[in-house]
Amino acid sequence: MSINPILSHLQTHFFNNSINVLEIGARYGESSKVILNSLKVNKYMIIDPYTSYNEYSNDGFNKIMSNDNDDIIFNKTKNELESLHNNIVFYRTFSTDTNTINAFEDTTSIDLIFIDGNHTYKYVLEDLENYYPKLKNTGIICGDDFFMRTHANTCEHMRTTT
C-alpha cells in the first residue's frame, strides 16, 4: 500500500488520539482501508471525482475509470469503506472545487492530509496550496505516486493547456 512507508510514523505521531483525515484521490480505497484500520479516526473525508481525465488518454491508470464503470467503482469503494467506519464523507468532485475547499475550516479541520489525486506537478501544487491551510498546526501532510503519470501524458497535457 502506498501509505505503508509512513504508517509507523503516523501511528507514533498521533499515538492514540482521535484524528480527522482528508484523502485526496481514493479510487479503490486501498490507502483508506489501511489508515482506517491503523489509526484512531474520528472523521474520514475523501475528495475524488471518480472519473477519467481527458488529458491522460495514454495512461493505463486512466483507463480504469470510464463512463461505463466510474459509478461502479465509486459505489463499491463507498460501501467497503462505510462498512469499516461510520463517519466517512465523500466529496465526489475535483479537489479544486471552491465549495469543497471552503467546506474545511482553516487550521482546525484536519490532522492528516494524504494526497493521492492527480499526480502531475500542477495539480499536486494546487492540492498543497488549497489544503495545507486546513491542516492543524500539529498535523501531517503526505502523499505518494509522484512518478505515476507518463511522460507522454505530461507533454500532451502541457500542449493542451499552454
Does the structure show a pLDDT above 70 at 156? no
pLDDT: which is higher, 77 or 53? 77
Band (153; pLDDT cuts 50, 70, 90): very low
Instruction: Give the H/E segment covering residue 137.
Output: strand 135-143
Nearest to 25 by CA among 48, 53, 1, 59: 48
Band (27; pLDDT cuts 50, 70, 90): confident
What's the rounded Cα separation, in Å, for the pair 150 and 147? Answer: 8
Q: Please, what are the domains in the chain?
A: 4-161 (3.40.50.150)
pLDDT: which is higher, 22 or 122? 22
> What pLDDT is stored for residue 162 in this prediction?
42
> What pLDDT is stored for residue 56 in this prediction?
56
pLDDT above 90 covers what percent of the chain? 59
Q: Is 87 left (phi over 0), alpha (psi -120 to 50) or beta?
A: beta
Mean pLDDT of the region 46-61 = 71
pTM value?
0.83
> What pLDDT is stored for residue 109 in this prediction?
83
> What pLDDT is stored for residue 12 in this prediction?
95
> What pLDDT is stored for residue 69 in this prediction?
73
Cβ neighbours of 92 (radius 10 Å): 16
Does the structure show a pLDDT above 70 at 47? yes
